[in-house]
Amino acid sequence: MKPRFTIIIIAMLFIGKTASSESITQTIKGRITDVENKLPLPGANIIVLNTEPIIGGVSDTDGYFRIEGVPVGRVSLKITYLGYLPMELNNLNLSSGKEMVLDISLEEQVIQGEEIVFVFKRDKTKPLNNLTTISARTFSVEESNKYAGSLGDVSRMAANYAGVQGTDESTNDIIIRGNSPNGLLWRLEGVDIPNPNHYGQFGASGGPISMLNNNVLANSDFITGAFPSEYGNALSGVFDLKMRSGNYDNHEFLAQMGLNGFELGIEGPISKENRSSYLINYRYSMMALMMLFVDYGTGTGVPEYQDVTFKFDFPTRKLGRFNIFGLGGISHIEFLNSEQDSADIEDSYYDWSDWEYDAVSGSRMGVIGTNHTYIFNESTYTKVNLAYTYHKTINGSDSLSTENRSPVPWYRQNFTETNYFASFLLNKKFNSSHNIQTGIIMKQINLNLVDSLYEGSKNRFEIMREHDGSTYLYQSYIHWQFKPNNALTFNIGLNYEYLTLTNKSSWEPRVGINWSFNENKSLSFAYGLHSQIPYILSYYEKVEQPDGSYVSPNTELSFTKAHHFVLGYDWNYRSNSRLKVEAYYQSIFNAPVQADEESSLSMLNNGTFSGEIPEYLENTGTGYNYGLEVTLERFLSKGFYYLFTSSLYDSKYKGSDGISRNTAFNGNYMVNILTGKEWNIGKKEKNKVFALNGKITSAGGRRYTPVDVEQSIIDNETVYDYDQAYSKQLDGFFRMDFQISYRKNGKKATQEYALDIKNVTNRKNPLFNRYNLQAREEVIIYQAGISPMLTYRIMF
C-alpha cells in the first residue's frame, strides 16, 4: 500500500464531534398490498417488535401506513391482516438520514379460518416473484454494500451465491452453473435491457464497472435456473431488477465518494396529496484521481465514465399507477502505448508491454421507459411497459511499427443497437387457490453494424460485418399457479418465442412444485425448456468470396436450447438460519458451432471479452451441466451473520468434431465464506455502528486452450491450438476480502465511512494465457493484487 494512500485512510476515518445525547428517531412508512392482485389492504397492523411501549400503526384505505418516532438502528416489523399469512421483516437498517419506505405484499391463506402456526418471514432466499419455484432468491441493496468484495456492484454480489462463479476480477460476468455469462437475461422494471455495464460489449452481459447504482435499486430477484414462463430469451439465469420510488413526503439528499465514482442523489415528493415522487442519481468516475494512489490493474488506460438513473412515480386513485424510469451511461478509455516508452508500460490484464498496440474503447447505453399498472377489480389487474433502449460500442486498435512505434491500422468497429420494447401483462386471481398470469412481449431490434480488419497482404481493410436493418422478437406466455392448501404450490406455464429474421420459433413448457411438508422444511422440483437467440452479430457475419463479393452464411441460425431440471431441499433449522441444497442437470442442444470444417469451436464458450466466432455456423453443438449446491446461512441477528455457499459441478460441450471437452467455465468447484459483525457503540448505543465484514473465495481455475508456440513464432502473434481446446486448467483461484465500516446517525443526517480491501493476501490469481512476442513463449497473465477502496456517504 502506498504511503499517500495511508494518509488518506487516516484522514477519511477521522470522525467529527459526536452526535447529540438526545434520542434519535426516524419514520417508517409504506404500503401493504396483496401479492397476487396488487390490491391495497386497508386495516393491516404493523408492529415494531421489541419496543416498550409497543410502537405500531395501521394501513389506511389505500394500504398506506406511517409510524413515527421509531428509534434508529436495527428494527424488526410484524405485519398481520385477517385472512392473510402474517409476515416478519427482521433487522432492517433504520437510519436518521433517510426515512424507511417499504412496499410489502402479503399472501392470502388458502383455507380460511384454519389456525396458522407459522409466520412467513421475508428472507433472502425467497424471490419477490411468487410464481418462481426454485433456484431463486431476493437480494437486498444492503448486501451489495455489506458483503466484502462486492464494491457496491450487484453483479459482484451475486457471485457469492451458490452456483455462481466469479473468478475474473477484470469483469463482473455472472457465470451460472457452468454456462456462458452471455446466457443471462437483464430485466429492469419489467423491461429487457442491454448489457448494463460501462465498457459493455455487444452480445455480452458483463463489464468492469456496473451502471446499476445500488443507491436507487430496491430488493430484486436473482434466478439461476428453471425460471418461470414470463422470462424468455435466456439460457442460464435472470436478473430481475426493481427500482425504488422516491420519498413521497420529504425531500432527501445523498452524496457519496468512492472507487465507483462521485455520486449525488436527490428524491422527494412531486405532489404530497397523491404521493407522487421523483428519484434522480448521478455518478461521475473518480478512477483518474484514485489511480494516483492505488494500482487497479488498468495499466496505461484511465477509465472515464458517468451515468444517471431516475424514476418518477405517479399513483392515482382512478387511473392506476404510472412510472417513468431511465438509466444511461457513457464510458471511454484509451491505451496509447505509442506515446510512452515501452520500458515504462506496466503489465496488466488490460495491456501488456510486449504487445505493441494502441487501443480506444468506448460505449454508450441508455434505457427510458414507462409502465402503467391498472387494477380493474378485486381479482384482475394489468401492467403495460413501453421502453426504448440504446447501446453503442466503438472500438479501434492499431498495432505499432517495430521501427518507430508509430500506429499502424488494424481493427475498426462501430456498432449500434436500438430496441423498441412493449409488453402487456394480465393477472387474474380467481380465489386463494388459483391465479393465472398471461402476457405478450414485443421487441423491435434495430442494428447498424460496421467493423473491419486490416489485411496487410491486400493493403486494405476487409469487411467483417456491414448491416443496417431491423428484425422482431415476439414472446408470449401463460402461467397458472395452483395452491390446493398452504403447504403445496404448483406453477405450470408455457412460453413461446418467434424471431422474424429467421422465421424460427420455440415452444417452451415450464413446471414447478413446492411442498412445505412441515413448518420449516420444504422440497421443490422444477423443469423448464429454455431458449435464446444466438449472438446477434453472428447473423450478419460477412465472408469475402474469391470474386470479391461477400456472403452472409449464418442467416438461418435457430435458437440455442436447454432442458433445465432442478431438485431442492430447504430447511429453516432455526428462526434465523437456513440450509438449502439443490441438485441440477442441464442438457443443451442447438448450440452454434463451426460449420465449414470439424472443429472444437462452440459459442457456448464465449464470454464478455473472450471466445472465438467462426465465420460459418450451424446449430449442431451440444453440452451439459450438472452439479450440487449447498447454502448454509445465518441471517443478520444480534449483529452477526454468515453465509457459506459451495458448488460442485461439471460442464462439458461438443463442437462440430463431436469430441466431448470441458467448457471454458468448468472450474469444477466454488466455495464462498462470508461473515460479519456489527457493534453499537457510544453513549447512545443505536446512534453509532462499527462493523467488520470478511470473505474468503476458493475456486477451481478457468480452463484454457494452450498456445501453439511454433505457429505463433511464424505468425508473430498468439495462435491457439484448438485441437486441444480447454484441455488445460489454470491454478486454483483464492482471494480474501475485508471491509471495515462506521456509521453515525446524527439528528438529521447519517454518515457512513467504509474501507474495502480486496485481495488482502495480495495473491496474483491467473487469468488467461497468451504468446509473449519478446520471450517467444507461452505466458500466463495474472490479475491485480491487493486493491483498497475508500467510500464516504452522507444522507440527509
Q: What's residue 296's pLDDT? A: 52
> What is the model's pLDDT at position 21?
46
Cβ-based neighbours of 113, under 8 Å, separated by 6 or more:
none
Please state whether 163 falls in left (phi above 0), alpha (psi between -120 and 50) or beta.
Answer: left
pLDDT computed for residue 777 by the predictor: 87
Q: Which helix (H) or strand (E) holds 157?
A: helix 154-158
- Rounded CA separation 131/491 (Å): 6
Question: 105: how many CB neighbours lie within 10 A of its CB?
Answer: 18
Say how far residue 189 (Cα) sits from the centre of its chain. Answer: 14
The answer for 127, left when phi > 0, alpha when psi is -120 to 50, beta otherwise, is beta
Contact of 55 with 70, CB cutoff 8 Å: yes
Burial 181-199 (b: 16+ CB within 10 A, else e): bbbbbbbbbbbbbbbbbbb
How confident is the model at residue 40, as a pLDDT? Answer: 92
pLDDT of residue 29: 93
Residues 6+ apart with CB under 8 A from 471: 444, 445, 499, 500, 501
SS3 of 539, please? helix
685 in Cβ contact with 696 (< 8 Å)? no
Q: How does DSSP assign 699-734, residue by residue? A: EPPPEEPPB-HHHHHHHTS--B-GGGTT-EEPPPEE
What does DSSP say about strands 120-121 and 87-94: parallel, antiparallel, or unpaired? parallel
CA distances, 714 to each of 318, 709, 710, 711, 781 (Å): 74, 9, 7, 5, 22
pLDDT at 166: 82
Q: What is the mean pLDDT of each run of 10 residues along the chain (796 residues)?
A: 43 42 83 91 93 91 93 92 91 90 90 46 63 85 77 84 86 91 94 91 81 88 94 95 94 88 94 94 80 55 88 94 96 73 49 58 93 94 97 84 69 92 97 95 95 77 86 97 94 97 96 93 96 90 82 92 97 91 98 93 84 86 97 92 96 96 95 94 76 95 91 84 93 94 90 92 89 83 86 91
Q: What is the pLDDT of residue 345?
A: 46
Classified as helix, coil or strand, 142 is helix
Record the pTM. Answer: 0.90
* DSSP helix, strand, coil percent of the chain (3-state; round to 5): 5, 55, 40
